[in-house]
Structure 1
């Protein structure tokens, strides 16, 4: 990956809907060269998709939480499947430490959060933290410089 690829990734991360013409202008390459590089980044698995970032608060889900779930080992894959099918879950990571899963959820009311926690408690112990702010929103990982 060279400096052009890094610039392309940064621009796509900022605006995934950018045209190849505008992207070419920003990185100082031709549009066909940019299109070829983007295709290679997609084929190699560096770019895995293009997504709209949705603000849950603006669609009626103002309560965002992180729930740590300590899962009983024998039920881990059953729990993962249940979590995949839980609409309030917007992200889930398997983590090290005493907890097995870190689950990010968005709900509309405190009773809805309480009901969700009650459902999750059947799989193990929970620890819930309400997100009050996101001072560092999702961002692109730092890319290494050319050698």
Structure 2
């Protein structure tokens, strides 16, 4: 991946609906050359896809929490993922260092829905206990990819 690829990625992060011609004007390539590079970035897994960014509050899912999950015994990440996938309020889950086995990001319509979601999470057979932190406001949320190694800035 070179600096042109990084600039193409920055353009896609800023607006994934940009045409190859529009991106080409910014990075100094023809539309077919940009398409070839984007295809290669997809094939190599640098780009994983394109998506719409939705405001969860506009869909009625404005309450969120981060939940530390502590499991009984030694539980594999695959098994944790399998038990969390059926829960629609789980929007992300991460294995972490420290005492927790995982951290789960929940979204719900309101605090009562969040309480129900937490109860469903706690009912999962391998979960021993949870510790929840409800999000009050979002201070910073980046949608850009990090810059190249050694860089302190995003590539946007």
TM-score normalised according to structure 2 size: 0.85
Gaps in structure 1 of 5+ consecutive residues:
none
Give the 3-state SS of the residue equivalent to 1:117 in structure 2: helix
**Alpha carbon RMSD of aligned pairs, Å?**
1.6
* Residues 64 and 114, structure 2, Cα contact 8 Å, conserved in 1: no
8 Å Cα contact 2:93/2:102 also seen in 1: yes
**Cα distance in 1, alignment partners of residues 5 and 110 from structure 2:** 43
CA contact (8 A) 2:65 2:106 kept: yes
Equivalent residues in 2 for 1:97-108 (5 A)?
97-108=98-109
Unaligned runs of 5+ in 2: 151-156
Is 1:21 matched with 2:21?
A: yes
Q: How many residues align?
A: 145
Give, in whole Å, the separation in 1 of the partners of 2:44 and 2:141: 26
Larger displacement relative to structure 2 (130-139 or 10-19):
130-139
Q: Which runs of 4+ in 1 moved over 3 A?
A: 73-79
Q: Which residue of 1 aligns with 2:154?
A: none
Task: Name the SS for the 1:99 alignment partner.
Answer: coil
Aligned to 1:140: 145
Structure 2 equivalent of residue 46 of structure 1: 46
